[in-house]
Amino acid sequence: MAPANVSPIDREARFERETRTARPVIKKIGIADLLDALSKGLADFNAMPTHLFFLAIIYPVVTFAIAAFYGDLDLLSFVFPLLAGYTLLGPLVAVGTYELSRRREFGRFTSRTNAFLVFKSHSINAIGNLGVVLMLIYFVWVFVAQTIYEQNFGSAPPESYLGFVQQVFTTPEGLSMIIASCSAGLIFAVVVLSFSVVSFPMLLDVDAGVLLAIKTSVRAVVANPIPMAAWGMIVVALLFVGSLPFFVGLCVVLPVIGHATWHLYRKVVEC
């Protein structure tokens, strides 16, 4: 909810604000702030559960993965980069949860379906443009991952799932692919974290424009390198844990991270 020292009139004006901010103030945060953001994100999810929406997003990808495992093995090498894409596309996928947390913070009536009000946001075009940038980065990541695979194993598809796993974990080529893929993935993750960790929430909050939102996000990371690195590791760890029970946990993990990201933005950026 909104702070007690904010009047209803000011709170309403803040909720509807579309003022362009020339240079938002970046605040220093610590690990305790990350944990508090997660706690508030979990509280938002409990108040406005959206797991069914996320199931509709997750399971088409899971179906693709199953098809790769048991069907056309030509798809098998795409499974890892595809699933890893949740880390890269997460800020875009979670936009609806930012809107829910924003509305709840400012005392607006909120139900799960209010997540779709993001499409009526004054910044929807900017959000869409930034989403396109994320999608382009994701496709580049898939291309890089496939190139790494072909450099180590050639263009021929694996003969079997077990044979592929054995190749990856028991051969020099497999070790080389793991190192190269993880290194490339880390670079992509750092880039995406840097320009998107607070940019999407900021676009919902103020009429900032894509470039200003990206610059603000980068400034937030530069000003708080250790907390932001810790945040990235927390997100990856939660996504990994959520993926273990046949990816079902992601329908909870993804919205909780989304809600928490809104609260992280509010802690770091003062517009």
Q: What are phi and psi of 244, to 5 degrees?
A: -65, -50
The secondary structure of residue 118, as a DSSP letter, is: G
Rg for the chain, CA atoms, rounded: 20
Strand-pairing partners, residue 269, are: 26
pLDDT band at 261 (very low <50, low <70, confident <90, very high): very high
Q: Which two tokens stand for residue 4?
A: 């007690």
Q: How far apart are CA 215 and CA 3, in angstroms?
A: 28
Query: Is-contact 55 251, C-beta < 8 A?
Result: yes
pLDDT one-digit tens code per residue, 40-82: 999 999 888 876 666 556 555 555 555 555 455 555 566 666 6
Q: Tell me: pLDDT of 211 over 70.
A: yes
pTM of the model: 0.78
Query: Is-contact 105 201, C-beta < 8 A?
Result: no
User: pLDDT: is 16 or 18 the higher one?
Assistant: 16
Which whole number is the average pLDDT over 2-7? Answer: 48
Q: Which two tokens stand for residue 58?
A: 């997750």
Cα–Cα nearest to 133, from 123, 141, 122: 141
Q: What is the pLDDT of residue 64?
A: 55
The secondary structure of residue 158, as a DSSP letter, is: P
Q: What is the pLDDT of residue 1?
A: 43
Q: How far apart are CA 265 and CA 199, in angstroms?
A: 8
Q: Tell me: pLDDT of 204 over 70.
A: yes
Q: How far is CA 207 from CA 21, 81, 271, in A?
A: 8, 34, 10
Q: What is the pLDDT of residue 197?
A: 92
Q: How far apart are CA 258 and CA 270, in angstroms?
A: 19
- The residues near 231 (Cβ < 8 Å, ≥ 6 apart) are 34, 193, 197, 264
Q: What is the pLDDT of residue 55?
A: 56
